[in-house]
Homo-oligomer: A and B are copies of this chain.
């Protein structure tokens, strides 16, 4: 596949590069094997033999979004029941929904198909998923995502403790055995595919500390190391959850994960809202990445995540929707919310009346807000790096898989804005500018998304 047009990506935090009129070629395995200005000698030579797909003026390619935290079964009740504190909410809503999918494979299939369609609608090309307890239901999830063509990391939940007697694994050993079996079955499917088509992988997924015994955590740590598998969980999320862990286990989340070798460069921990800078520095040393879910945090965390501080100490961070703790499946909303929340934190810092316990005084002079460019990095390259996707993922470089979305901000023929965007000066003479990108970032929606590819394959919405 050969494409010619404007490309936009974030090579580093805070940097948005517009590559105007570039030629990009994707090889048969879905990797970018040429990327240069269309007038570059190599590009001209390629163009002599092949006609490119032309991205019209006013449209551009952007890396697909990465969603680092999404509970697939909870998609069933997206946007409802957000009035309870975390531990009650899990019991009232989450566990019930998950149990029902584990007992109704057809319902699971239909929920997961719809979920895949919505992810595609919103430009999410890679997603780190929490599933349910039952292996078979997670295999449905894996298959549906594979069929949809999305890069999906599927976590069969491990939980040998539960507040819901009917939704728990029967024993620690049974839980470990089920985790191993799910991973094997999931990997077996992948093994039958060529390497570049292995878009779906299993993830070791201790739900969170309150539902996992120390023995289970230790066993999952060993399993992950043995099979070199990614790990995901929730850490230091909510006031009631943290109190629960401290009173039951006498140790905090992070120490429990650490002692079980579950904080690794293969790990993504959701939330981490209650970690102060010294602890974030400790986390960075383990290589653990964080899924920042700002909307969900407003509902379930009494504190916002210390995003700027985490980035400053070198924690890899991406964004998560946390469906259904967050009600929006749109990573664009996660970007917007991450900026708004960080600005509120910065405002509180300026006002001088926000002193989180444990924050170091040397942090006090640092600006805490992030801007839209930084948020766009988190949604693309930041997320890809947190997930350890292949080299260059989340940006456009030779050798990287071609995971891209085509965004239209104005119509090339008329100069009129697309979707919610209005222009009162013909945008065509200037072409794509940073200002137009900012406008799209602020008010763009799914009407601006025209096409999507993962590993070079066109992804359709239905």
Contacts and interface: CB of A to CB of B under 8 A. Distances in A.
A324 to B, nearest CB: 9
Interface in A287-334: 295, 298-299, 301-304, 327-329
A422 B119 CA distance: 13
Contact of A298 (B75, B81, B344, B371): B344
The DSSP consensus for interface residues of chain A is helix
Nearest to A421: B79
A348 interface: yes
A43 interface: no
Contact of A422 (B114, B347, B350, B371): B114
Given A107-B424, A328-B443, A356-B353, A298 B79 contact: no
A356 B118 CA distance: 41
A355 interface: yes
A188 to B, nearest CB: 30
Given A327-B442, A353-B354, A371-B83, A118 B347 contact: no
Given A424-B111, A445-B445, A435 B351 contact: no
Contacts of A111: 424
A76 interface: yes
A275 to B, nearest CB: 13
A279 interface: no
A80 B439 contact: yes
Interface string A81-97: 11100000000000000
Contacts of A440: 79
Q: How many identical chains are in the complex?
A: 2
A327 B83 contact: no
A79 B337 CA distance: 15
Contacts of A295: 340
A143 interface: no
A428 interface: no
A292 to B, nearest CB: 15
A302 B350 contact: yes
Contacts of A298: 339-341, 343-344, 347
A239 interface: yes
Contact of A301 (B76, B299, B347): B347
Contacts of A12: none
A48 interface: no
A297 to B, nearest CB: 8
Contact of A80 (B83, B328, B435, B445): B435
Contacts of A348: 302-303, 348, 354
Contacts of A372: 82
A103 interface: no
A45 interface: no
Nearest to A351: B302
5 contacts: A79-B440, A82-B442, A327-B442, A328-B443, A351-B357
